[in-house]
Amino acid sequence: MNQITWRKQMDLQYPPIDDEHQAFMKVVNKAQEAAQKDDFMCFDNIFEQCYEYARTHFPHEEDLMERISYPGLESHALSHQQFIQNISELRQTYNRAKTLEEYRYIVRKTAHFLSAWFLGHILGKDRLYKPYLVRLRHLPPRMNYDSE
């Protein structure tokens, strides 16, 4: 897969979230590049950054959805859970790899998964709550804490 470039449709016009999405796009592109170069060891760090993204961005987004009463929160949170599950499975296979072929297989599979997931999730799911972000303007200041 090719490197992903930021497109207009990915933009939620909400910097606290857009910044996190763009930072994760760089991780996804790094995975793609490392897989092409057979840089297997780089994936140790890439998996860590995936977990970090799940630990920080997912709760951030779900909390935001709650504040704007986004009706799709429940199924969206499930999709985040599924990502964690998928990454954990890929990481386990990566940890068990011993031969060159096994490493090559798992890093390519991981890079492919990350690119496909990023595009599918951001364009297919994250984009859906964009129209609800206008509600932030009507929230009391204490509930509008991460808007600029």
User: By C-alpha distance, which of 83, 22, 95, 16 is closest to 55?
Assistant: 83
* Binding of residue 25 to Fe ion (CB under 5 A): no
Which one of the spans 4-12, 48-56, 94-102, 119-127 is the region binding Fe ion (CB under 5 A)?
A: 119-127
* Angle, helix 15-36 to helix 100-124, in steps of 10 degrees: 150
Q: Which is closer to Fe ion, CB of 64 or CB of 107?
A: 64
Q: Which is closer to Fe ion, CB of 120 or CB of 145?
A: 120
User: Using CB under 5 A, which of 30, 31, 46, 126 touches Fe ion?
Assistant: 126
* Binding of residue 70 to Fe ion (CB under 5 A): no
Q: In the complex, what is the shortest distance from the CB of residue 31 to Fe ion, in angstroms, rounded to a whole number?
A: 17
Q: Which is closer to Fe ion, CB of 42 or CB of 77?
A: 77
Which two three-digit tokens encode residue 46? 């890439």
- Concatenated DSSP letters for 100-145? HHHHHHHHHHHHHHHHHHHHHHHHHTGGGGGGGGGGGGGS-GGG-T
**Residue of closest CB approach to Fe ion:** 126
Count of CA atoms in the C-beta half-sphere (13 A) of 53: 24
Q: Which is closer to Fe ion, CB of 60 or CB of 108?
A: 60
Which two three-digit tokens encode residue 148? 């600029």
* Binding of residue 28 to Fe ion (CB under 5 A): no
Count of residues in contact with Fe ion, rule CB under 5 A: 2
Contacting positions for Fe ion (CB under 5 A): 61, 126
